Amino acid sequence: MFDITKIRADFPILKREVNGKPLVYLDNAATSQTPQQVIDVIVDYYHRLNANIHRGVHTLSQEATDAYEQARIKIQKHFNIAKPQEVILTSGTTHSINLVANGFSSLLKEGDELLVSAMEHHSNIVPWQMLCERTGSVLKVIPMNANGELVMEDFHSLLSEKTRLVFCNHVSNALGTINPIEAIISASHEVGAAVLVDGAQASPHIKADLQALDVDFYTISAHKVCGPTGVGMLYGKEAWLKKLPPYQGGGEMIAEVTFDKTTYADLPHKFEAGTPNICGGIAFGAALDYMNSIGFETISSYEAELLAYATEELLKIEGLKIYGTAANKTSVISFNIDGIHPYDIGTILDKLGIAVRTGHHCAQPIMDFYKIPGTVRASFSFYNTKEEVDVLVAGVERAKNMLL
């Protein structure tokens, strides 16, 4: 049974006020809030477990190592990943993508082609542009239509024997579009191309089965799923991770070091140089436990209800236009009002205690596509309510009256 009052009580931050008004937090696509259950794990770590991992013989180090490795197993199970060594713990999606992009420097040659979707976050564009500069490979763009959906016919015609890598987000951060990654993965594999899916925005809404998807790389950030910032996952198929050279050198990632030659540790440690975010990793596992205790089916059906209600109510405002109207989308609404800059709306909403994101959402190519400076983005989580949607709609009305 989904008890919203009980769920909201798990999040201490939701009780605070902003500018004298109760906080209405609708910037969940930027970062999710942290439930007490996860905060408790973080506090407990520093109260009871804090030690460096994977090397100490003392009890604290052993216990911290166990907790960290258990978190890896939780992540593995959550995404139905075949082996724990295919879970690389990183500082987040950006780190994960850079790790892969760096690794491919030695595997690509001039004239190889890389395909990127038109609706990527800058973190899934720039590392590949840098890779292309290093290797002489060419980056080609899978276009999108006015609804914010990828044009699949164009994707199929861009695919060729030259295509080595394809990058796409599972869900667009700016528009909420759920991309047809199953079709993208299978078609890419037919021409022998590997696929990296950025799952950062999908992870709070969709529990991806990575073996079923047969995806080569999948990345997420813990802070989108009620976990802390500064920790995330790179999933890679073992065969790929073995092929890629280490990203950073240092402690933890080595088997043996001499001044003549160093041999590298096995997976996953080969990619985990240095002391990791131990507490963050453990809390990441706890955050997935929390999300799973509510259940992703429950979460997504509740969020779908919120999305439908918010879309309907916002569209009643004259002059309001929603960007990203894909048939298949998560609870994200990007919008503008005719004649008003999104930043002005965001400023007034903040005065009313409503947190939304304004700007280009690190996805400038999407804004260029629509020829707009940015949008106001309200993104809903399972702890938001219809009453909060009403506060948002009233706030937007008020901003409109002030600004027009």
Catalytic sites, residue numbers: 362
Mapped onto helix, strand or coil, the DSSP state of residue 229 is coil
Nearer to another protein among residue 141 and residue 355 (C-beta): 355
Among 251, 295, 359, 365, binds another protein (CB under 8 A): 359
Smaller CB distance to another protein: residue 358 or 384?
Answer: 358
Query: Minimum Å distance from CB 267 to another protein?
Result: 41
Nearer to another protein, 289 or 344 (CB): 344
Question: Cα 114 vs. chain centroid, distance in angstroms?
Answer: 21
Nearest Cα to Cα of residue 155 among 121, 195, 122, 127: 195
Query: Minimum CB separation from another protein for residue 30, in Å?
Result: 13
# residues near another protein by CB under 8 A: 16
Task: Compute CA distances 177 → 231, 234, 324, whole Å.
Answer: 25, 22, 7
Spatial distance between the Cα atoms of 27 and 34, rounded to a whole number of angstroms: 13
Q: Is residue 374 close enough to count as binding another protein by CB under 8 A? A: yes
The Cα-based distances of 370 to 120, 136, 179 in angstroms read 15, 30, 19
User: Which of 39, 317, 373, 385 touches another protein (CB under 8 A)?
Assistant: 373
Binding mask 128-167 for another protein (x = CB under 8 A): ----------------------------------------
Task: Work out how close the CB of 371 gets to another protein at its nearest, in angstroms, rounded to a whole number.
Answer: 13
243 binds another protein (CB under 8 A): no
Q: How far is CA 176 from the centre of its chain?
A: 12
**Which positions from 318 to 357 touch another protein by CB under 8 A, shown as an x/- string?**
----------------------xx-xx-xxx-xx------
Buried b (16+ CB within 10 A) or exposed e, 260-277: eeeebbebbbbbbbeebb
Place of tokens 């707009």: 372
Binding flag, residue 358, another protein (CB under 8 A): yes
Are 80 and 209 in contact by the 8 Å Cβ rule? The answer is yes
Query: In the complex, which residues of this chain contact another protein (CB under 8 A)?
Result: 19, 340-341, 343-344, 346-348, 350-351, 358-359, 373-374, 402-403
